[in-house]
């Protein structure tokens, strides 16, 4: 029988790779993890975590204004951008250390450098070669910038977390998660934000009511939304960029940031030497157990382009470790995966949109509620909360919950459990609300829209 240096060699110490490697090591597998950039991957370093910290920072702007209605008088307010970024960096640095400890304490070996495949069982890194029984590719994704003249003057989310100073005027391109989240971040910090999106609404794939409400809430706040609009070219100016729109207009800004999707990060790994099949977008093709076309090579997370969300990558990592090293074959259930967009206001969703439900079940009942949150009766802020339930009429099962408003992510997470448990509308109705909260509205919607 062949002997190998390792039982598992993981490419990438992001959310998925770390979970799989830690668990494999804890099951007794001899495990190595290669990381060429930063421990914790996109989520910890240039994604979810620093993004949410910047969202918190930016929300203070409106919070200070809200305070007046509650009797507070505030003095001069000023944002120290450098202090914010330094504090954020310190926290990320701490998390890098936590990830290092989690891996080493589980018994995994960390190798810092770029790993490449020599063949299906051999890895080359930092001038050495190692063999492994199983290989796990967990290399994530990378921002895509379309090829427009001058696109080299644009930044992506990778750079946005390390800006030297706050830009006064920002142009964001894209209408997905990252574009709308950063629109809120920069706007909340006091920048003038123009968001250019090729579609007629933001957030394709989300429920239409959420898409409409987000667009109108962002406009109300003063974000300049340019929908059905594309960028023809970007030129460098003495103090920033001039961005040519297809309308013929040129918009000037200090900074242009593209948030036009992320592509699987699979180039240059040597996959072609192993025969691993990748699709037209570079994603590694895998079966429900995350096994690639080469039996000992597995892949999880963004590099497989299934659902690009951290908790999904973590679930896939766990499933691979259980399957290979704990004698417990496990696949991930991709139904009812909740998600939140940390736009301002937040929005979150679980289950089917109204149109998906109509397509699948035909007869659906829809319950909607739009209201002014209690807090804003005194703050005076002109912001509405919107909630929606989609119910399959034939079974009374709630098949979709959607919300836009404060803490939407926190609220929908709980409802995701209800949907996983196949809760009916009658069960929602039988649940007593917590008063006064926004969330209670989800159990008090009685009349279909
Ligand atoms: P998204 O796929 O969410 O959005 C990409 C946006 O760019 C879409 O609006 C798309 O338009 C537009 N677009 C794509 N190509 C072009 C082009 N050539 N020219 C102009 N516009 C274009 O990607 P993001 O970059 O925002 O985020 C990547 C992924 O990361 C997300 O899909 C999500 O899975 C994950 N993520 C999750 C977060 C969370 O959970 N809160 C936060 C941030 C990221 P169209 O709709 O017309 O295709």
Domain residue ranges in the chain: 6-143+263-325, 151-259, 339-443
Mutate to test the pocket of ligand 1, among 172, 177, 303 (most ligand atoms within 8 A of CB): 177
Tokens (6 digits) for 209: 């009511």
Pick one of 3.50.50.60, 3.30.70.890, 1.10.260.30, 3.40.50.300 as the CATH number of 151-259: 3.50.50.60
As a 3-state breakdown, the chain gives helix, strand, coil percent values, each rounded to 5, of 35, 25, 40
Tell me, what's the pLDDT at 2?
A: 80
> What's the 173 CA to ligand 1 centre distance in angstroms?
10
Tokens (6 digits) for 92: 């990320």
> What's the 131 CA to ligand 1 centre distance in angstroms?
37
Q: Taking the model in full, what pTM does it have?
A: 0.97
**Are the CB atoms for 165 and 149 separated by under 8 Å?**
no
Tokens (6 digits) for 419: 């949907």
Question: Is the Cβ atom of 339 under 6 angstroms away from ligand 1?
Answer: yes
Q: Which residues are catalytic?
A: 435
Peptide bond into 345 cis (omega under 30): yes
Query: What CA–CA distance (Å, rounded) separates 224 from 226?
Result: 6
> What's the 239 CA to ligand 1 centre distance in angstroms?
28
Tell me, what's the pLDDT at 432?
A: 98
Domain 6-143+263-325 belongs to what topology?
A: FAD/NAD(P)-binding domain (3.50.50)
> What CATH number has the domain spanning 339-443?
3.30.390.30
Question: Is the Cβ atom of 360 under 6 angstroms away from ligand 1?
Answer: no
Tell me, what's the pLDDT at 1?
A: 66
Largest CA distance in the chain: 76
Query: What CA–CA distance (Å, rounded) separates 274 from 296?
Result: 10
Task: Decide the pairing of beta strands 192-196 and 224-226.
Answer: parallel
Tens-place pLDDT, residues 74-88 = 999 999 999 999 999
Positive/negative CA dihedral, 60, 62, 67, 72: positive
Q: Between 15-26 and 81-106, two packed helices, what is the crossing angle to 10 degrees? A: 30
Question: Is the Cβ atom of 176 under 6 angstroms away from ligand 1?
Answer: yes
Tokens (6 digits) for 306: 């299934």
With a cut of 50, which residues of the chain have pLDDT below it?
Answer: none
Mutate to test the pocket of ligand 1, among 178, 334, 337 (most ligand atoms within 8 A of CB): 178
Same fold, 6-143+263-325 and 151-259: yes
């Amino acid at each position: 029988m062949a002997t190998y240096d390792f039982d598992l060699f993981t490419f990438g110490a992001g959310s998925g790779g770390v979970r799989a490697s830690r668990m494999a090591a804890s099951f007794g597998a001899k495990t190595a993890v290669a990381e060429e950039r930063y421990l914790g991957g996109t989520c910890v370093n240039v994604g979810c975590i620093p993004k949410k910290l910047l969202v918190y920072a930016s929300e203070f702007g409106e919070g200070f204004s809200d305070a007046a209605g509650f009797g507070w008088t505030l003095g001069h307010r000023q944002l120290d951008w450098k202090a914010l970024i330094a504090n954020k960096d310190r926290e990320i640095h701490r998390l890098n250390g936590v990830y290092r400890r989690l891996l080493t304490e589980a018994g995994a070996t960390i190798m810092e450098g770029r790993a490449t495949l020599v063949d299906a069982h051999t890895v080359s890194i930092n001038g050495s070669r190692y063999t492994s029984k199983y290989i796990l590719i967990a290399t994530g994704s990378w921002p895509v910038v379309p090829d427009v003249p001058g696109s080299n003057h644009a930044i992506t989310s990778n750079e946005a977390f390390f800006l030297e100073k706050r830009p006064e005027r920002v142009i964001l391109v894209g209408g997905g998660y990252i574009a709308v989240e950063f629109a809120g971040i920069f706007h909340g910090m006091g920048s003038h934000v123009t968001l250019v999106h090729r579609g007629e609404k933001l957030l394709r794939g989300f429920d239409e009511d959420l898409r409409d409400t987000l667009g109108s809430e962002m406009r109300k706040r003063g974000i300049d939304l340019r929908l059905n609009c594309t960028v023809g070219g970007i030129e460098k100016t003495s103090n920033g960029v001039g961005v040519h729109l297809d309308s013929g207009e040129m918009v000037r800004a200090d900074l242009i940031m593209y948030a036009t999707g992320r592509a699987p990060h699979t180039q240059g790994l040597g996959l072609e030497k192993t025969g691993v099949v990748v699709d037209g977008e570079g994603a590694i093709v895998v079966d429900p157990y995350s096994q690639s076309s080469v039996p000992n090579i597995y892949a999880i997370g963004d590099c497989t382009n299934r659902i690009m969300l951290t908790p999904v990558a973590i679930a896939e990592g766990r499933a691979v470790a259980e399957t290979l090293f704990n004698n417990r074959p496990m696949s991930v259930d991709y139904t009812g995966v909740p998600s939140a967009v940390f736009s301002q206001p937040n929005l979150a969703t679980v289950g089917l949109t109204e149109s998906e439900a109509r397509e699948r079940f035909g007869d659906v009942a829809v319950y909607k509620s739009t209201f002014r949150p209690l807090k804003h009766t005194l703050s005076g802020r002109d912001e509405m909360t919107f909630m929606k339930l989609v119910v399959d009429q034939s079974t009374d099962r709630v098949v979709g919950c959607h919300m836009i408003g404060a803490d939407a992510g926190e609220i929908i997470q709980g409802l995701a459990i209800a949907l996983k448990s196949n809760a009916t509308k009658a069960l929602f109705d039988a649940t007593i609300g917590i008063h006064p909260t926004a969330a209670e509205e989800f159990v008090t919607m009685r009349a279909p829209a």
